[in-house]
Structure 1
Amino acid sequence: MKIGQYLSAIPVVLQLVLFLCSSALPNSYASASETGNGVAALQGVFLGKSFKAKLISIRKQDETLLISYDEKTEGLDDVEEGDNILLRYRAGDGIKLALEVIPEQVKIPEGVTEIDTAEMIALLNDESRRGKYLLVDCRPFDFYSETHLPTAVSIPWTESKEVKLAALPADREQLLIFYCLGGTCQLGPNSAALAVEAGYKNVRVILVELSEWQESGGNLYSGDEYIRHGNVVLVDLRSGEEAEAGHIPGAVNIPAGEISGAEYDFPTYKSAPVIVYGNGADPENAAASIRRWGFRQVSLVEGGFAGWVARGNPVETGKLSSGIRWLRQPDIDEVSIEDFQKAAAGGNDEALIIDVRTPEETAKGSFDRAVKIPLTELPARLAEVPDDKEIFLHCATGARAQMAWSYLRQHRNKVRYLQAKVINRKGKILIRP
């Protein structure tokens, strides 16, 4: 009997008991947002679902997790037992509720192995291995600057083959680890394949989503230029006296001991980028608290204030504001859902839709008028993108479309991307905000 059939055969009361017990077990991959209402993600193998108890069964490494779902959960009809999936869920009051199930399309190349989150965190924490590996962020530099894994360097996939290989170490035995946007992004595996082709012997990929990385206890850092010029919430966690003696321009002062009571001082828009710095473990602890409030992009300053100064960045003195005044500035290069749908329906002859999803994804359904150019093939197929059209880019969530925009805007004048979900429901393509 398959595990999905087995789960359905268990009496509902027993299923609920199993679910409640499983949610009480220690779980190193459990979301840090379980006590709040934040949205998080995890990756694993889909084992089955119970219609009666409304439970999804997922294998996460050596653990089997039971997660509830309801009639609003998206994507359950698109996965089968044994599929690798990305599951987005909302955690609150000790219960995880599945919001969306996404089949993963990433293929790990021959000669490349996967490193999981726990092993990667252990590697980063092992001082004896510092300098003995190279962690490579394959996303466009703009993405790297906003948030990246500790010790990572930026080698964008969109660079030429020669530039990418020149940035790698001469030692073909050194450990190389590549990453991009998790289990739905092929940039990391493709970069890893290029390294294997060039003769590197110890090549790995980490397929973790950045949100899951943080929920698993990993930190993210932001680049100095982004901290200086980005539209961010920058928080100095040190005492008022320390902060007044010298602080990063644009920071507000909320001492670490007061952060737990400051939730309602933060923006209501949970996608606002939040960057914190301070002393000792204060930044990590504050970041965890802020994520529990539902914020999805929380990062640290590399080396704290001392690191900021050591890298030659500007410093201000004097009293800081304790009030956060942050306003969302929508990207002018986003295309509205209405304009995108008009183009998809043939109502805008001046626009061309480009679908940057993988062939496996587009095979399940795509817009009739869309040109299919996977993100990884965009540099090689640039000539197929016309100069005289307005280009509308889309993927499944907006993340890869924004990456494609980051590259394509350097070569074409009129490029916008759709920041929304594009969902295939039994052959019908739907757009969700």
Structure 2
Amino acid sequence: ATKTVKTAATPVEDTSWMFHDIVDAKFVKAHMTVPMPENVMIVDARPYKGKYIKGHIPGAISIPFSQFDKKTNLLPKDKNVLLIYYCEGVKCKLSHKSAKKAEKLGYKNVKVYAKGYPEWIGLKGNYGSLSAEHVAKQIAANNTVIVDARPKKPKFDKGHIPTAISIPFSQFDALNGKLPRDLNTPVIFYCGGLKCRLSHKSAAKALEMGYTKVAVFAKGYPEWKKTYGASNETVQVQAGEVEGSIDLERFKSIIANNPESIMLIDVRDADEFAKGSFKTAVNIPIENLEPKIKGLPDDKPIVFVCPTGARSGEAYYMIKDVRESLKDVYYVEAEIDFKSDGNIEIKKPK
């Protein structure tokens, strides 16, 4: 008689905890912009202190799974917004559990980036975003170069993160010799907050140069000032006005009553401008401005705008350098939120 040999049954892996809609890094990248679009939210489901502050996908907000129920107010009001959850890799269940909870709340477009942050940070060309606490720790440890990507005048000179060096993005190629020689030195770039692209563009250039430990502090100087104060401000703002900036109330009144009386130039990138701007604005991205300065009209005041005053301030100083004879030139020093419904919110800078 033939003996039947019992073989150990291959254990069937339980995948019931996994979310039903998994996406890859390419999908995540395709839905990220600076600023983040209103119809997309990337959510980091890992612990805030242990993981998020040390590095997260740029643009992601922190809702640790353990605090999901307490933080539902951070989720978008619109249930059709694309929600992308991630955590610490394929064995981490936090993003899957969070996604299931979000679906129960009625969100209709929920995805999980299952390979999560470990894969993200290992992919060529990618970098992480840090929190203010982690930047402060890095400064204390004294082993990191902090780079301010905003214009030197007026932004950096008016106030910056302690120990930061100034390499404005528009002068990156000319000034990149200020970066450390050792390509393994950690480098952190920052600029004017979540709507400012300068730190992200600088980080991409540093990665191209071969730097291996590149990060951004995406919330930038406004967040630093809010958290730690602006004790290092070096210049007092004259009479409530920054040099070159237009009085905010005056600007609002011109836009409301007589917008044709000024030449309004939006210096954001073309894709940002396409999503909405002031009706009379023309778009000249800051990187394309210099060769066009000679052709700008001198028969009416010129006013530059961007979301934070960083790029528009840079445009103002560029004109002062290139075409001094243009006297009636200003920029808007404010937080400007160009909303997708066409509304524009103008707030005093924090």
Relative to the length of structure 2, the TM-score reads 0.47
Q: Rg: which structure is higher?
A: 2
TM-score w.r.t. the length of structure 1 is 0.39
Q: Which structure shows the higher helix fraction?
A: 2
